[in-house]
Structure 1
């Protein structure tokens, strides 16, 4: 069986990918991980950075003795997978990204981080705050959110995936985005697709950003179809 690593998004955790893991585990050896500071893992002494999350993946591959693996990366997880592939292409067989934000700039980071105000979230969306508290316990979800905002600002100033670096990624990539995603545009996904030398583009109809809103059976089939094409 092929290895398949599932990577969660910003403010997420491996537990969010458990239903997808269960749907795929009869076909693949499915692995999940929590990025540093997520899902109850200790908050690192250093700030959140994409480089830190890339190292998390490398460390996990070493711990699990995985020479190479296919990767599904949701949102930030897709960005981390592609960033890893830039420097360690031999460790990744293919990448399927879903709802990954590719177009980072200072202005884009400012728009995104306006939504990451813990006090405002607690006041305006208490149910979401409670979910984050449970997801990241015993760590402080407010620190996770603030650290995430800092990482986004750094990406805005120094994006890793650029018109210079994306063409270097020779491995098979499928970039998928929902047509109703209010965080990631079809246009920026198309931009990345055109720069990637060995890519497929998928626009999912009537689909928003949150992973839990996607039909699980459809998503697992999309991932399986992509990997089967890669393995031919």
Structure 2
């Protein structure tokens, strides 16, 4: 049975997957990690805060752990990072399941997302969310994480990493999933990614929004165990 790696999204952390752990079969070896700046992990002094660097860091982590091929559930940014890593070194991956991964990046689209990533505004208007981020990423500064995430999105808008051409190079089996009520990721961009990936499946989760905290965990567990054939 291949191990399962859980990879979080932007402004996320590995502890967000705790509700999922108790629902997965006990026989499944589950791993997770915090990308730099997330979940208390330090920012890298050697690598920039970019999708490319995150993919490199994921590959380095897999090499260090020596787990053999792993199955991956990548949520949002975690799915983007995983697909780029698998494009480069497919030997580390069994199957990949992405959920709520944004594939359509443009300058205008990036600016739309960046507008939501203003630490002072978040602190003033949504102090509860600011406190969640503070606790989630301590001792790192959630404000700095938000600023760097905004810069990364600006870079993606100018030069997307996953294009129809690069998606076509991903030889690992993938299931791309999106919630039918996701307000950040469209069904259209998810279908386009599915069509460009050579060995892909498509799944739409009903009554599902973008935030991981609002996921119906039993529904997601059923989808994962079905796709990865975990008994």
What's the TM-score once normalised by structure 1's chain length? 0.95
Hey, what does 1:14 align to over in structure 2?
Answer: 14
Q: Offset of 1:50 from its aligned partner?
A: 0.5
1:102 aligns with 2:90: no
Q: Secondary structure at the match of 1:41?
A: coil
Could you tell me whether the CA contact under 8 Å between 1:47 and 1:151 is conserved in 2? no
CA distance in 1, matches of 2:64, 2:139: 24
CA distance in 2, matches of 1:100, 1:185: 9
Instruction: Compare 56-65 and 177-186 and name the one that shifted more.
Output: 56-65
Q: Offset of 1:6 from its aligned partner?
A: 0.4
Instruction: Compare 146-155 and 13-22 and name the one that shifted more.
Output: 13-22
Q: 1:131 to 1:225 in 2, by over 3 A?
A: same
Hey, what does 1:23 align to over in structure 2?
Answer: 23
CA distance in 1, matches of 2:112, 2:25: 37
Could you tell me whether the CA contact under 8 Å between 2:7 and 2:75 is conserved in 1? yes
Matches within 5 A, 1:171-186: 171-186=172-187
Q: Secondary structure at the match of 1:148?
A: helix
Hey, what does 1:87 align to over in structure 2?
Answer: 88
- Size of the aligned set, in residue pairs, is 230
- Cα deviation per residue 1:127-179 (whole Å; 9 max; x = unaligned)? 00000000000111000000001111111111111111111112211011011
Could you tell me whether the CA contact under 8 Å between 2:2 and 2:70 is conserved in 1? yes
Q: 1:108 to 1:193 in 2, by over 3 A?
A: same
Q: Which runs of 5+ in 2 are unaligned?
A: none
Matches within 5 A, 1:1-232: 1-24=1-24, 26-45=26-45, 46-228=47-229
CA distance in 1, matches of 2:192, 2:96: 17
CA distance in 2, matches of 1:117, 1:48: 17
Q: Offset of 1:43 from its aligned partner?
A: 1.7
CA distance in 1, matches of 2:37, 2:24: 26
Q: Which runs of 5+ in 1 are unaligned?
A: none
CA-atom RMSD in angstroms: 1.5
- Cα deviation per residue 1:182-207 (whole Å; 9 max; x = unaligned)? 10001100110111111111111111
What's the TM-score once normalised by structure 2's chain length? 0.96
